Structure 1
Amino acid sequence: MMKKTVLLLGLCLLLTGCITVKGLLAPGAAPLKEHVVLGEGRAKILVVDISGILVMDRLGPDFFSKRDPVLSRMREELDLARKDKNIIGLLLRIDSSGGSVTASDILYHEISRFGRERQLPIVALVLDKALSGGYYVALAADEIIVHPTSVVGGVGVVALKFNLAGLLEKWGIADDSVKSGEYKDFWSPLRASSPEEAALMQGITDRLHQRFIDLVAARRGIKDCTLKQVAKGTLFDAKPAQALRLVDSLGYFDEAVERVSQLAGVEKARVIIYRRPGARAGSIYAASNPVLHTMMRLEGIAEEMTGPSFRYQVAP
């Protein structure tokens, strides 16, 4: 019983922000530096990494890694790239199961805006997965290339809720909250949802889902019959995804680089990435710290437990 009480107290403190977990703290962010991965020539192809859970700027670089959350890092990289006239194309390296609806939408918006402003080609290369919000971001690309073993799709929205009422009752804990209005504790995990709450959440979820579907239709030119299949949230491996026109082709990193070069009309180019001093930059496959990804997933679950949250994400 004591262990359960301590565990519950720790969870409550963590979720309410009374305690913060930090460790292996990184120093203040240093300016991004260009690293050449391969190739030669004056022209440059910038690789932007879109990986892990897509969230707003909430964890920051203080947790276990020198790398920033994907949204703030991506914007900083694009701002730097805007100043480099030698960059002739963008290669999005995507490996994500999605995340926040708003974070996914902002990533799509920023990448699309960069492509319009610079009038250069954008190609997305999917590694392991581009699911839900990860696929939403990939739609910003002119073409989507997937590995033969990649999985894409998950077009949909989820608003998770953990009803802890039974668990708290078992532990002898009662909710004595005071509220100013009927919906002030909307979507509270401490009780079951009312039919009105469920209907309201369903309406918002349906509208956000339709926004996703409309974007797939516009960017991929998919007809209604295929859209119905895609809109179920189904996952597709590489060849079925290509047959449904969710992606353009199957290939690897070399083919993706070659395709960017072809679309840009150049014969040779350097492939570059931006990294902060001390960060891994050995190759295109050098991703951010997996511990950070784990913390971001835990944060996402905690967010679902404490209030309404809409996510273009495969449910954890």
Structure 2
Amino acid sequence: MSDDRWTEGAEVSSESVDPVAGAPGDDAETLRERQRLAQVDMMDRWVGGVLTEQRRTRRWKLFFRLMMFAVVLVVLFATLYGLFWNSPSSTAPTQRHLGIVAVNGVIASDSPANAERIIQGLNRAWEAESAAAVVLHINSPGGSPVQSQRIYAEIMRLREQGDKPIIAVIEDIGASGAYYIAAAADDIVASPVSLVGSIGVIYAGFGFEEAISRLGVERRVLTAGENKAFLDPFQPLDDDAETFWQGVLSQTHRQFIDDVRAGRGDRLSDSPDIFSGLIWSGEQSLELGLVDQLGSLEQVAREQVGDTEWIDYTPSLDPFERLTRRFAQVTAEVLGVHAPNTPLRF
């Protein structure tokens, strides 16, 4: 054993031996062996790290694939639900019920409360033989004059046929363009604390002409027609332009008033404040003749069909379209480029 070159010399702890440089007294063969072992160990560690990273990458890929699959399933399910389960049945119901048409949110061509959708729901409910009454279930602050007038005209057309009553039930708010729609109904029902009225027209904008001059920015606007840019917020609104625009607002307001009078008739009181743009509670509205009775959807159902039975005839929204529309609206608002389709609002 004394001739064993591996055991000769002083004992050296493993912690003090450099795996590459070796220990003092190592010959060339021992040094090469240590270097080989160190390289093998380094290679093992590298391979282990690569395998660990690959496993981690595969797990993330699997996670995102599962997430994408889940999103596709949700969208598919929501679409099928909207098409087959959450829409009026193709088989006409035989039990007497209220035919509900919802008017929720701002009335605008690019919102769920648009004229085309609501008119389609009105006609569905009107044509349902077992629907004892058509009910406009309103919870809206108003919106586009054009969209409101289209719905108003369709309600008046159906009302003149006289086959079944059309009732407007106002929830939290039925103001401005929403009241415009309600005024076409045979009767209007509201809660004592509903907000009703706001019969007026509004245009709102800003004037930045002084701000832009202070910033040293030159505004360049080219038009064909001297008044084409009269509402440009970076130019002052002169007296003639203001007078003209006020005339447009007044004429639109007059149309609003005439249609409300045509719908409500002599039920309206003679108070000059009715058409001033003020908004009242349901209880105050009853005194002014803006509504016919205080109550709720359940009370209307019991009066018309003897039970709280109703079917929603409002056309279902495409879930994907709703998602993309909402995303576009939020993005436009964040970027500050959101603008209504018309500067006038009921």
TM-score normalised to the size of structure 2? 0.65
Separation in 1, partners of 2:142, 2:236: 27
Partner of 2:339: 303
SS at match of 2:234: coil
1:273 maps to amino acid: D
Contact 1:97-1:130 at 8 Å conserved across structures: yes
CA offset digits 1:212-246 (Å, max 9, x no partner): 222233332256731x1112111111211111111
1:27: how far off?
6.2
1:191: how far off?
1.3
Are 2:106 and 1:53 equivalent residues in the alignment? Answer: yes
CA offset digits 1:59-102 (Å, max 9, x no partner): 5xxxxxxxx44322212223433543222311111111111111
Partner of 1:235: 279
CA offset digits 1:243-276 (Å, max 9, x no partner): 11111111122112234x1xxxx54584101353
1:164 maps to amino acid: F
206-215 vs 144-153, which deviates more? 206-215
Q: 1:1-316 to 2 correspondence within 5 Å?
A: 30=83, 33-34=87-88, 42-56=95-109, 58=110, 68-117=112-161, 119-220=163-264, 221=266, 225-226=270-271, 228-259=272-303, 261=304, 267=306, 270-274=309-313, 276=316, 292=326, 295=329, 302-303=338-339, 309-312=343-346
1:192: how far off?
1.7
Pair 294,272 (structure 1): closer, same or farther in 2 beyond 3 Å:
farther
1:112 maps to amino acid: M
Pair 298,85 (structure 1): closer, same or farther in 2 beyond 3 Å:
farther
Structure number with the higher helix fraction is 2
SS at match of 1:99: coil
Separation in 2, partners of 1:83, 1:225: 37
Separation in 1, partners of 2:149, 2:327: 20
- RMSD after superposition: 3.6
SS at match of 2:270: helix
Partner of 1:13: none
SS at match of 2:228: coil
1:44 maps to amino acid: H
Separation in 2, partners of 1:293, 1:97: 22
2:104 maps to amino acid: S
SS at match of 2:99: strand
Separation in 1, partners of 2:198, 2:161: 30
Pair 298,137 (structure 1): closer, same or farther in 2 beyond 3 Å:
farther
1:191 maps to amino acid: Q
Structure 2: runs of 5+ lacking an equivalent: 1-73
1:117: how far off?
4.0
SS at match of 1:218: helix
Separation in 2, partners of 1:293, 1:73: 21
CA offset digits 1:183-206 (Å, max 9, x no partner): 121311221212111111111111
SS at match of 1:309: coil
CA offset digits 1:15-68 (Å, max 9, x no partner): xxxxxxxxx999698477227xxxx96223111111211112x35xxxxxxxx4
1:271 maps to amino acid: W
SS at match of 1:243: helix
Separation in 1, partners of 2:194, 2:120: 28
Q: Say which one has the larger Rg.
A: 2
Pair 214,119 (structure 1): closer, same or farther in 2 beyond 3 Å:
same
The higher relative CO (CA closer than 8 Å, separation ≥ 6) is in: 1
Separation in 1, partners of 2:259, 2:289: 14
TM-score normalised to the size of structure 1? 0.70
Contact 2:139-2:170 at 8 Å conserved across structures: yes
Contact 1:44-1:88 at 8 Å conserved across structures: yes
